[in-house]
């Protein structure tokens, strides 16, 4: 399984944001940091397309941009993580944070 070097993506899937809200822009930046391309396809809908080689290459997933606020609550971030798991089979183990060693 590939390990993607991302900026704290695992936090979206797990409980490190439990009592915090996060802006959508860092999330979109993280989603496009090497494994998705992003396009706003209408209204509040963002389409993310996998750009990595492999079984999921070219597959897409849609997420709604939060509105009227630009905040993603933890519960929404957790749902995003679950959808990534269902669509692509990705789990927390798929990702590592920038600067962290994958071994051990």
Distance between CA atoms of residues 21 and 12, nearest Å: 11
Residue 73 lies in a domain: yes
Contact 30, 9 (CB under 8 A): yes
Q: What is the pLDDT of residue 7?
A: 41
Distance between CA atoms of residues 28 and 49, nearest Å: 12
Condensed to tens digits (0 to 9), the pLDDT of residues 63-103 reads: 887 776 667 778 887 898 899 899 988 887 777 666 666 65
Q: What is the pLDDT of residue 48?
A: 93
pTM of whole model > 0.95?
no
Structural domain boundaries enclosing 86: 23-90
Distance between CA atoms of residues 49 and 81, nearest Å: 16
Q: What is the pLDDT of residue 1?
A: 36
Q: How many CB atoms are closer than 10 A to CB 84?
A: 22
Residue 60 lies in a domain: yes
What's the domain count of the chain?
Answer: 1
At residue 44 the predicted structure's pLDDT band, cuts being 50, 70 and 90, is: confident
Residue 57 φ/ψ, nearest 5 degrees: -55, 130
Q: 43 or 25: whose pLDDT is higher?
A: 43
Q: What is the pLDDT of residue 59?
A: 92
Residue 81 lies in a domain: yes
Residue 40 lies in a domain: yes
Condensed to tens digits (0 to 9), the pLDDT of residues 5-28 reads: 444 455 544 444 444 545 556 667
């Amino acid at each position: 399984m590939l390990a993607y070097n991302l900026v704290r993506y695992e936090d979206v899937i797990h409980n490190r944001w439990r009592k915090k809200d996060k802006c959508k822009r860092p999330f979109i930046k993280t989603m496009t940091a090497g494994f998705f391309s992003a396009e706003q396809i209408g209204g509040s809908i963002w389409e993310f397309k996998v750009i990595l080689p492999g079984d999921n290459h070219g597959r897409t997933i849609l997420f709604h941009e939060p509105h009227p606020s630009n905040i993603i609550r933890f519960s929404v971030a957790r749902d995003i993580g679950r959808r990534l798991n269902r669509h692509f089979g990705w789990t927390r183990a798929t990702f590592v944070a920038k600067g962290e060693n994958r071994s051990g």
